[in-house]
Structure 1
């Protein structure tokens, strides 16, 4: 048991509980950069632990009726076979490139993280604009079915190769293409991600890319982390959390690109977590001021309890 691995699992779990996304996008680069795990093994192990975590969350959302089953099914028709195909392509690349695959895979993961971070950033900044015309369910016309299948296939293939993007990319697609309400976006995203992750995880399992002991240690930290993050989510503004995660993902992507040999300035990598910390601190401060302002303007402020001698 590696205590540091459990701590990182706890931290990633907290972020997932706070924002609903970021599990695969954060744990895979941590396994590669901090623990020196081979990229292919890091991807397969990450998908295995994430499949279990998302299944628990997906069951809860299904019981709460916050899932658009039609959209979920049509996206899965494209994403599941594409994810399995992505794993197969990864195996072919490993046979063809050998050790050279590690550098290529790290660079591809870095680019995926930056794209995911930018997608999260767009969702955070333009959340109010996207809210126009939101609906709880969508009539799946022939055009929307095609969009769902194609979009699912793109995300599924990326997930099968890199393990990243299943949360943020799908969420942005559900907002842009289907205009679902926030609760439906989260519920549909989580259930579809669970289906997609199991498909990709089983494919990696068959390819021998999953480290069971590693996955178990991550789960020891991530399961309580998700609970803690869910508890804290009511205290930190959602916009600040999404902006923070976007910055962390972009910083992690830049770090991976630097490891792959690209000339990325160290200052650019360091700026992401520093800015993220400032955003969280500012969000907490504003939330505290808002609570105090509400108490001060309340028509029935709490009365002090008289002391009895």
Structure 2
């Protein structure tokens, strides 16, 4: 039963993470901590282990999603690698900061982060790009409906933003797409589908760096990862397929409600102990 649960957690994380570009850790980490008191195999889960294991799983979610989005030609490779120049070092810093968090502290900060994510998702559909006349780096994308998008950014701004996203990724075991995707749409005028696909490329690359750090710190439970990864891989494939076929407003609406409940619950538990 426990192994089926882990497969389902991985499936849910991969599906949601790939569908809206979140990465999946925002589902996996709280799920592992929540069920830690109900199943023997999860009894030794600490925030550090949950984060380290989640980041290892995110490598496969990011890879699976990126391979799928490559087929739809929505991945901006140059931007993805530039963002990684910031998110990679940020992930290292976050992984080391994670060592100093106890259960209550982690629940409080992670809960607040999840609530922030829910609020961002609430307004993401209303986000409008900040128009600028010129960008140091400019890209053009043509959608399936022949709509042309022109977007761009300043490299320094992109790297600094990606560093902050990577820091949260390494600290909380999330992909960071919850911050990166809205920022790419609002600040850099990315087309939504390109923002999600490129975010997953960044998640894949930065998760490798963060995972290596957490592995060296002994924060990865390999048995849990063994059962989480297959579900996450399949879920990521499903998420990218759904993303290319339908609008994900209904899923996002459901997700933000779930995240809000999870976030409030974690903050409450950290306060009452």
The answer, yes or no, to whether TM exceeds 0.5 is yes
Q: How far, CA to CA, are the matches of 1:237 and 1:139 in structure 2?
A: 24
Aligned to 1:261, the other structure's residue is in SS state helix
Greater fraction strand: 2
Aligned match of 2:255 = 245
Aligned match of 1:201 = 211
Alpha carbons of structure 1 residues 235 and 186: separation in structure 2 relative to 1, 3 Å: closer
Q: How far, CA to CA, are the matches of 1:232 and 1:41 in structure 2?
A: 31
TM superposition score normalised by structure 2: 0.81
Aligned match of 2:232 = 222
The alpha carbon displacement at 1:66 in A equals 2.0
Q: How far, CA to CA, are the matches of 2:167 and 2:237 in structure 1?
A: 30
Alpha carbons of structure 1 residues 7 and 71: separation in structure 2 relative to 1, 3 Å: closer
Q: How far, CA to CA, are the matches of 1:148 and 1:247 in structure 2?
A: 30
1:272-300 Cα offsets, whole Å, 9 max, x none, are: xxxxxxxxxxxxxxxxxxxxxxxxxxxxx
The alpha carbon displacement at 1:255 in A equals 1.3
- Counterparts of 1:245-264 in structure 2 under 5 Å? 245-261=255-271
1:31-82 Cα offsets, whole Å, 9 max, x none, are: 0112242111000000101111211222333454322233323322221111
CA contact (8 A) 1:54 1:190 kept: yes
Indicate yes or no: 2:52 matched with 1:44: yes
CA contact (8 A) 2:91 2:163 kept: yes
Q: How far, CA to CA, are the matches of 2:8 and 2:72 in structure 1?
A: 31
Give the number of the structure whose alpha-carbon radius of gyration is greater. Answer: 1
Q: 1:66 aligns with which of 64, 71, 74?
A: 74
Aligned match of 1:6 = 7
CA contact (8 A) 1:51 1:198 kept: yes
TM superposition score normalised by structure 1: 0.73
Aligned match of 2:85 = 77
CA contact (8 A) 1:112 1:164 kept: no
The alpha carbon displacement at 1:224 in A equals 2.8
Higher RCO (C-alpha under 8 Å, 6+ residues apart): 2
Alpha carbons of structure 1 residues 179 and 262: separation in structure 2 relative to 1, 3 Å: farther
Indicate yes or no: 2:213 matched with 1:213: no
Q: How far, CA to CA, are the matches of 1:238 and 1:221 in structure 2?
A: 21
Aligned match of 1:27 = 28
Count of residues in correspondence between the two structures: 251
Aligned to 1:260, the other structure's residue is in SS state helix
Structure 1 residue ranges without an equivalent (≥5): 95-100, 264-309
Q: How far, CA to CA, are the matches of 2:241 and 2:52 in structure 1?
A: 29
Q: How far, CA to CA, are the matches of 1:257 and 1:27 in structure 2?
A: 17
The alpha carbon displacement at 1:176 in A equals 1.3
